[in-house]
Structure 1
Amino acid sequence: MRASFALFVMAASFLLASCTQEQQNKISRSVQNWTGTNGVLEIYSGDKLVRRFIHIDKMTTASATEGGSARPYRFGYGILDENLNMVTDPGEKKVYFEVSDYGTNYVFFESPR
C-alpha cells in the first residue's frame, strides 16, 4: 500500500514538474474550484469601499459563446454584505454579480475568518 502511494506521489510530482506555469495555475484553480474558497470581493470608488460580497466560492471569467476567447468581465455568486461588516446578517441574501475589467477597482481575496 505504501509503495503504491509513494509511486503515485512520485508520478504526480513528475507530471507537475513537466507542466508549464500556466498549466500549473490551471490545475491549482481547478483544485481550488473543487474544494471551494471563502472569498471576499470588495469594490472601490476611488479610495472608498462601496460594495462587498462575502462567501464567494469562485469568480469566473466569462467566455465568448463562439471562439472561446475571454470576455472583459468576471462573475460569481456571493452574499451582498450591505452594511460592510464581513458578517451575513438577517436579510442579506446570495446574489449574482459581475465586475468589469474596464475601470472597476476591485479586490478579491480569501476571507481571513
Structure 2
Amino acid sequence: MTLRQVCLATCVAALALAGGCTQEQQNKISRDVQNWTGTNGVLEIYAGDKLVRRFLKIDKMSTAMGTDDGRARNYRFGYGVLDENLNFVADPNERKVYFEISDYTNMVFFENPR
C-alpha cells in the first residue's frame, strides 16, 4: 500500500467513526480540533448596546474547571490583545493580556474576518 492509499483509508475510517457519533460528540471533536489548530478570534464585550472592550488574536477561550469537583465554573478565560482604541488592529503599544469573563457577560466571540 502506498502512503497515499494509507492516508485515504485513514480518512475514510475517521469519517465512518464520526458518522457513528452523536451530535454532541461530533461537536466536541470539532471543538478539540479547533482548539488544537487555533483561530484568530475576536471577543467583544458590551455594556448594554455600547462596545466597551475588544480582545484580538484569541486562539481559544477555556472554561474554568473546579479543582476538587472537576465541574465547569461559570466563567471563561483566555489570552488576547486588548484593542484599547477599538480600531480592530493590534497596534504596537497594545499588549496581549489574560482575561476572564462571566457566563453573564454581554459578549460576542467570532473569528476575525480580516
TM above 0.5, yes or no, is yes
Give aligned pairs, total.
112
Distance 2:5 2:103 in 1: 49
What is the CA RMSD across the aligned residues, in angstroms?
1.0
| Amino acid of the structure 1 residue aligned with 2:106 | N
Deviations 1:29-73 (A, max 9, x none): 111111110000000000000000000000001111122111000
Identity in percent: 71
Instruction: State the AA in 1 paired with 2:110.
Output: F
Counterpart of 1:83?
85
Shift in Å at residue 5 of structure 1? 2.6
TM, length-normalised to structure 2: 0.93
Q: Which runs of 5 or more structure 1 residues have no equivalent in the other structure?
A: none
Distance 1:95 1:13 in 2: 38
1:98 alignment partner, SS class: strand
Distance 2:55 2:5 in 1: 46
User: What does 1:1-113 align with in structure 2 at a 5 Å threshold?
Assistant: 1=2, 2-102=4-104, 104-113=105-114
- For structure 2, the 5+ residue unaligned runs are none
* TM-score w.r.t. length of structure 1: 0.94
Q: Give the residue type in structure 2 aligned to 1:82.
A: E
